[in-house]
Amino acid sequence: MVTDGTWVLDVGRCVFCDACARACPRDAIRLGHRIELAVLDPADLIVSRRIRGRT
């Protein structure tokens, strides 16, 4: 999901299907083998990144 130039990804809901990586037109999303899902607070599974060049 993109809001105000920021990508937000809830890793807790991800099923690791690779659809987002294949659909990304800039190859900015890549799935890797290293994943940390052991957290106490589910909010820690939400990743957000600011898109460069956006205000």
Question: Taking the complete model, does pTM exceed 0.75, yes or no?
Answer: no
Q: Which strands form 46-50's sheet, in the order they lie side by side?
A: 2-3, 6-10, 46-50
Mean pLDDT of the chain: 80
Q: Is the pLDDT of residue 16 over 70?
A: yes
- The answer to whether residue 48 scores a pLDDT higher than 80 is yes
Distance, CA of 55 to CA of 44 (rounded, Å):
25
Answer yes or no: is pLDDT of 20 > 60: yes
Measured in residues, the chain has a length of: 55
Q: What is the largest CA-CA distance in the chain?
A: 34
Share of the chain above pLDDT 70, in %: 84
Q: Residue range 20-29: average pLDDT?
A: 83
